[in-house]
Amino acid sequence: MNNTIIKVIHLSKIYKTEMLETIAVDDVSFEIKKGEFVAIMGPSGSGKSTLMHILGALDRPTKGTYILDGENVENLNDDELSDIRNRKIGFIFQAFNLLPRTTTLKNVMLPMTYGGVPKEKRTEIAVKYLQMVGLGDRMYHTSNQISGGQQQRVAIARSLVMDPALIMADEPTGNIATAQAEEIMAIFQKLNDEGRTIVMITHEPDIAEHAKRIILIRDGRIVSDSNNKQKRFSSSTSDKANKKQLLEKKI
């Protein structure tokens, strides 16, 4: 069994305008295996979003190879790309990207509508994931009637309904308050404990510290790639208990 979910080899992305050429991603190679929780961290302008768009099959590299869950993205046409996105990747964006004036339930059901899941199944699955992110009592609120942190939890529920091989988040806590950001990180850690693969892009060290591995990029290049030994546990009650247990085990 192949347990590599992302493999990039000498990947580059160059934006060309009449005046200027920008090398946004510059000859990057790495692998991510199933079950990892990886933070890609770097300052603004370092190429994080560009890299995420390529990893998310939303854009193609200028040079290099990208193999997503065993499929070489280079060989796929646009329809195949959008199909692979819908089946394999759950996206979470900084700005939540929910439909406004639409219930959280409908928002969460949307990928399944595109994915051809039967209607009764769609509701059942959407309710399950809304409950999982703690929003079982907000199913009929519209997305503009809930807080930023809650909106991001809806987006997380939405990212899970097609049971993706990979969850990709671009600055998931960028638009929300610190306490709510911790709740989001608690959910990510729980999802990862359940075996889900997460790639999270952030410019905030405090947020990256929740991941198991941190890839640091600057000017489109990897400057370090290491296991995160000081993994931060989120402050939810269950995680506090978890941390206490781990500490006790050490003694």
Contacting residues toward Mg ion, per CB under 5 A:
48-49
Q: What minimum distance in Å lies between the beta carbon of 173 and ligand ADP?
A: 15
Give the span between the Cα atoms of 209 and 227, in whole angstroms.
10
What does the buried/exposed string (b/e) look like for 49-86 if buried means 16 or more CB atoms within 10 Å of the residue's CB? bbbbbbbbbeeebeebebbbbeeebeebeeeebeebbb
Q: What minimum distance in Å lies between the beta carbon of 50 and ligand ADP?
A: 3
User: Which one among 46, 94, 151, 173 touches ligand ADP, defined by CB under 6 A?
Assistant: 46
Residue 231: Cβ within 10 Å count: 15
| Residue 107: burial class (beta carbons within 10 Å; 0-12, 13-18, 19+) | buried
- 47 binding ligand ADP? (CB under 6 A): yes
- 113 binding ligand ADP? (CB under 6 A): no
- 56 binding ligand ADP? (CB under 6 A): no
Q: What minimum distance in Å lies between the beta carbon of 41 and Mg ion?
A: 11
Give the DSSP letter of residue 172: T
- 114 binding ligand ADP? (CB under 6 A): no
5 with 33: CB under 8 angstroms? Answer: yes
- 61 binding ligand ADP? (CB under 6 A): no
- 24 binding ligand ADP? (CB under 6 A): yes
114: partner contacted, choices Mg ion, ligand ADP, none (Cβ within 5-8 A by kind): none
Binding site for ligand ADP (CB under 6 A): 15, 22, 24, 42, 44-50
